[in-house]
Chain A
């Protein structure tokens, strides 16, 4: 009955909101403390049967996501409270945001999720291990990791002292000019567990960091160079060592991988001062037309480096038994780059966006160097030798650092198609991404196994992705149809048609369909994950 009451209560709230005007909710008489919030329920259904090395096997039509999210936000501008403050002090305020997520697929989803169990293959070093000892109750693990999340998502205070603006606390920060995919925007980690990236909002996947952000308006301005600003941030590792979490095995959004007798280890960011994130950028406007920035910062790469590690060697009846593990190592990444944006005036009337950045010593994946394939027996031998000489029996594969250069150019154009939409323009955006690995060699691979060849998928020296986005507003803004598409010349096409329906001021219904077709490369790793996503959202 409690459930019934809750549903009716929710229905009443929904009906009340449908009829209610927007009026911002202020908690004080001066309209300075604003309460904001949203809650939504979202379900995703697979529209094709999983194949290849995807785990778990999911038939067509099965639910892979049943997320319920609530966000409550409190923001206050304090300037009006301190009317007697000195003129140089301003922009005083704070913002708090609580985020709670419940993913129900681990409780009431299809069997392959709510009762997910996997029996790992036996290790060649311990072939007698029982099936019971190799059985992993992944539903329990994933329910704990992915089932519930309650966090103070944002909590910061801010203020300006003359030209200096400071914001301190858990906050979001994004630099760059790209849409959908990131390039220079690598400051915050992305939560790789949070749904299928093609259909989730990028902002929902960002993980805010405890940081100090300082923005200094520089006095050197002229008619040609304006808005000159030094923007910087510092994330003390002692306070925040958040990495981009890897989707665990069994998650419907994890990369495909074969079952393995390897243990799985994650080496997370350190917590010493040297492990901190930080950097700066200089941003300005040229000729009142072009916005330009140059940036350098240190972050933790979202993609961990992978290698094989022998964690120990036991001597069983005098025989060495090695314990191998896949070691996912997060590491600091230096990034240097710049951006350029400009509105090319009519008749061309197009916004041009560009970014370029060098990722210094990025760890690419060379399986042989990482201790996999042919080098695995050597690694095991090294660990056994270590054990026999009195050590713990450890050995680890190596990393392959390479400088990686990335750039993107994008164009945004709004245009009229009055026969289709007489009151609103269409917005079209396209971007071309290029990644170039310096000192590339044929041994460099992606860390994903091709189900057909059972070998790691080659990574090319030059990889390209072209994205497209088309959208408009219909029916007085109630309907927003859009189509996102991505093409990879390696033979992968992804498309996400979507429709958002605004009901009244506070309720939004969203439907999206994610489709991936083509070869097993890059986005094509997820070519068996087509899904329909449905979301009902209520906002304050």
Chain B
């Protein structure tokens, strides 16, 4: 066969495949939920998401996971071993159940079994959630933040977040004279006028407030900053510091109450675990990284002809997951938000969503992330690595959407590219221009 005929045949085959794809949902999608068939979603939708579908902002491609989300064996084994080992003290710290002392190091879920009748059940769920994040150990996450309105993109910013966990990390504990639980640096990388702005956060493993330093390129120096306004909108976006990954706040700064459990539809970019690939071998095991095969998010404003909200994730599947519903209320009277409802997976303790009220009790915002179960081959390691975070301000009809892992955006987990000594003042000075 000539090369020309071969090419035409290939074109026809791909055209037919494309037409087939356009004619009906792919086999992975069981149905599409739109305004007209909203009843099919049953009670699985958060009230805010139901309204988004009702007004045509979102179309939900409902699918079924082809796996049962669960962490790797080592983590699960450690979690099982933690049964009964820990308790909660009056300041909401995790303490040793027998001695009441704060443990130097915890690995695995500190509270693998949640008893809904336990008055501390809410905060225990939230501690479990943090320890699923800490298992990433040392992580490097690029993110692209899109500030969106009904008219589309307002502006965008790129940032690089690196964190090191002192508790809950894989491998050996680090020397920790400062008694920190984790440390984080958020470095803005684009556009030019914010490039180099970096914040260093130290979170302590007790009820103390975080310590926060900021490197400001315009001043060419590191400045100490207040860590108490974690509910201030970041650079005019719809995101606050405490909103990252649904909940980046300090558990001790809230009061918690488990208010129920239910099944909800949550977004996922893949019906299989998202793939992680082995990177370097180092003293703490294997570095894992996302690759070109990681399914990233495509926002509405990026899709020609999309008629829904510019911030709708257009290529997400929506799958049913069992969740704990935890109510959180800030202890700080100046906090921007009032009551918040957190939706946390009953099996994996990943937080998928929170619904935020104003201090006056009126509904305000919804924060969503995708399921983000990312696993190495043979599930030898699984980590929470998300492709998207979405912060919808329904009161003002706008949103901020963040693209995280994706084909062109590599996330590294348990990585030697991040070193503990970077999370110090001298580390911040080195990053400065």
Contact = CB atoms under 8 A, between A and B. Distances in A.
Interface residues of A, number: 80
A439 interface: no
A423 B336 CA distance: 8
Nearest to B220: A174
Interface in B40-69: none
Given A174-B220, A203-B219, A539-B193, A349 B228 contact: yes
Given A174-B221, A288-B202, A217 B426 contact: yes
Contacts of A345: 209, 228
B189 to A, nearest CB: 5
Given A227-B425, A288-B204, A73 B192 contact: yes
Interface string A498-509: 000010111010
Contacts of A240: none
A176 B222 CA distance: 9
A83 B279 CA distance: 11
Interface string B169-185: 00000000111000000
A343 B192 contact: no
Contacts of B421: 163, 217
B304 to A, nearest CB: 14
A475 B424 CA distance: 34
A23 B429 contact: no
Contacts of A165: 426, 429-430
Interface stretch (A30-38, A312-320, A328-336, A517-525): A30-38
Nearest to A290: B224
B124 interface: no
Contacts of A217: 421, 424, 426
B85 interface: no
B233 interface: yes
A262 interface: no
Interface string A279-292: 00001110011010
A95 interface: yes
B251 to A, nearest CB: 17
A476 B226 contact: no
A345 to B, nearest CB: 5
A346 B232 contact: no
B303 to A, nearest CB: 14
Interface string A245-289: 000000000000000000000000000000000000001110011
A215 interface: yes
Nearest to B417: A79
Interface string A510-540: 0000000000000000000000000001011
Contacts of B217: 203
A540 B192 contact: yes
Nearest to A414: B229
In this complex, the member of B192, B219, B334 whose beta carbon has the largest number of chain A beta carbons within 10 angstroms is B192
A226 B178 contact: yes
B425 A22 contact: no
A223 B221 contact: no
Nearest to A177: B223
Contacts of A158: 430
A173 interface: yes
A24 B178 contact: no
B177 A222 contact: yes
Given A37-B192, A346-B228, A160 B430 contact: yes
Nearest to A223: B177
Given A201-B218, A423-B233, A23 B223 contact: no
Interface string B205-221: 00011011100011111
Nearest to A350: B226
A78 to B, nearest CB: 13
B56 to A, nearest CB: 23
B425 A291 contact: yes
Contacts of B144: 22-23
B4 interface: no
Interface string A470-487: 000111111000000000
Given A229-B425, A285-B425, A478-B154, A34 B189 contact: yes
A343 B227 contact: yes
B190 interface: yes
B197 interface: no
Interface string B139-182: 00000101101000111111000000000000000000111000
Contacts of B223: 177, 341, 351, 353
Contacts of B336: 416, 423
Given A291-B213, A473-B235, A95 B433 contact: yes
Interface in B260-308: 280
A77 to B, nearest CB: 10
In this complex, the member of A36, A174, A475 whose beta carbon has the largest number of chain B beta carbons within 10 angstroms is A36
Nearest to A173: B220
Interface residues of B, number: 60
Contacts of B193: 38, 508, 537, 539
B195 interface: yes
A21 interface: yes
B394 to A, nearest CB: 14
A504 B151 CA distance: 12
Contacts of B433: 95, 154, 172
A83 B232 CA distance: 39
A83 B212 CA distance: 31
Nearest to B193: A539
B179 A175 contact: no
A91 interface: yes
B232 A425 contact: yes
Contacts of B334: 346, 415-416
Nearest to B234: A477
B339 interface: no
Given A227-B424, A477-B147, A506 B191 contact: yes
B115 interface: no
Interface in A420-455: 423-425
B226 A289 contact: no
Contacts of A506: 191
Nearest to A156: B433
A221 interface: yes
A476 B147 contact: yes
B332 interface: yes
A488 interface: no
A289 B211 contact: yes
A463 interface: no
A118 interface: no
Contact of B156 (A22, A284, A413): A22
A14 interface: no
A412 interface: yes
A231 interface: yes
B402 to A, nearest CB: 13
B156 A179 contact: no
A501 B73 CA distance: 53
B177 A502 contact: no
B430 A91 contact: yes
A110 interface: no
B225 interface: yes
A342 interface: yes
In this complex, the member of A201, A227, A353, A502 whose beta carbon has the largest number of chain B beta carbons within 10 angstroms is A227
Contact of B221 (A25, A176, A350, A474): A176
Contacts of A349: 226, 228-229
A25 B158 CA distance: 11
B233 A215 contact: no
Contacts of A226: 177-178, 424
B430 A22 contact: no
B423 to A, nearest CB: 10
A90 interface: yes
A343 B430 contact: no
In this complex, the member of A24, A154, A473 whose beta carbon has the largest number of chain B beta carbons within 10 angstroms is A24
Given A231-B429, A424-B236, A477-B233, 5 more contacts: A226-B177, A227-B425, A350-B226, A414-B229, A476-B236
9 contacts: A21-B146, A22-B155, A25-B190, A83-B280, A202-B218, A342-B224, A343-B211, A423-B233, A537-B193
